[in-house]
Amino acid sequence: MLTMDRDLAWIVLGATIALVLATGVGLVLDRTVVSSGGRAVIVNMNERIRAWWVMCLTFLASLLTGGVGSVVFFALISFLALREFVTLTPTLRADHRSLCWAFFGVIPVQYGLVAAGRLDLLTIFVPVGAILLAFRGALAGDRTRFLERTADIHWGLMVCVYGVSHVPALLSLEIRGYEGQNLKLLVFFVLVVQASDVLQYVWGKWVGRTPIAPTISPGKTWEGFLGGIVSATLLGAGVSWITPFTPWEAGVLSLVLTLLGFAGGLVMSAVKRDRGVKDYGTLIQGHGGILDRIDSICFAAPVFFHLTRYLVAS
């Protein structure tokens, strides 16, 4: 069991205050907004706030268990995200054994490598494993849309498993002068990426006018994008004291994370539009599915892991 230090306690307090304020604003708006269009926005916003309470408490619980809890938590996230992704892919009966290997072979082994701190192997296992799954699919003998089916499974593993697994992998980095504090690095990453998503949503609802890609994600606007990116970058620089980085370094890394997070959200929105659905699932009220909530993490985590490993890990 982890004993929360002062730095993490301040972050938890700040997140709690933000959620309490958001809840209060939502209650006030719920009582004052009467127009049909406005009501729809407020209802969705309050659903998102309630979901954020649940997600933050669940994430906090995983942190309090220490490293093992965080690995299990993100392994479960990968499992649920891959399940959502596979429901949208054109798989056939011939793919069932490959998918079984993916869920009950690739995911446990990948996160086992994360728990063991085998950084050399966890960065290559999923790409190699995906190649072997393609071989297994070929042995099934069904050549119908074989390339499409194989590519879909490969892409799902890379996004839902490979990308996400790099979040708890941050716990295994050896950083001189930062020993025993890697959990705060994980919190920093999640805080910046998720805050960027929330702030882009808030700025977009407030001043958003110009869509970035209206046929892919009509709700993403240039105003929301710029407001969210700048705000989250400043937030990251402001909480540099929980990281091994200077405020300047934390700010630059936060900018990289927010840009990658936006890219992830847009790419995964394009996948949804290609499949003709609005959300990947319905598990999280107001947000859709697990993959709708972590699409930005999937893209940002591997880059942040390797940048940190290059810059400060010994």
The model's pLDDT over 229-241, given as tens digits with 9 standing for 90+, comes to 999 999 999 999 9
Mean pLDDT over each residue of the chain, to the nearest integer: 91
Of 8 and 265, the structure prediction assigns the larger pLDDT to 265
> 166 and 194 share a domain?
no
What is the token pair recorded at 215? 């046929």
From 265, 284, 232, select the one nearest 50 (Cα to Cα): 284
DSSP state letters, 156-212: HHIIIIIIHHTTGGGGG--BTT-TT-HHHHHHHHHHHHHHHHHHHHHHHHHH--SEE
Q: How many domains does the chain have?
A: 3
pLDDT tens profile 158-168: 999 999 999 99
Domain boundary among 64, 87, 105: 64
Max CA separation in the chain (angstroms): 62
Q: Tell me the two tokens of residue 227.
A: 């407001």
Per the structure, the complete domain to which residue 107 belongs is given by 66-172
**Element containing residue 220 per DSSP (H, E):** strand 217-221
Residues 1 and 78 in one domain: no
In eight-state DSSP terms, residue 3 is P
Q: Does the pLDDT of residue 76 top 60, yes or no?
A: yes
Q: Mean pLDDT lowest for which of 39-43, 142-146, 195-199? A: 39-43
Cβ atoms 257, 192 nearer than 8 A: yes
Residues 192 and 134 both lie in one domain: no
Assign 29 a pLDDT band (cuts: 50, 70, 90).
confident
Helix (H) or strand (E) holding 289: none
pTM (predicted TM-score): 0.93
pLDDT of residue 314: 63
Do residues 20 and 119 share a domain? Answer: no
The pair of structure tokens assigned to 222 is 């240039």
Question: Taking 90 as the threshold, does the pLDDT of residue 117 lie above it?
Answer: yes
Top-confidence range, 50-64, 125-139, 248-262, 279-293:
248-262
Q: Is the pLDDT of residue 99 over 70?
A: yes
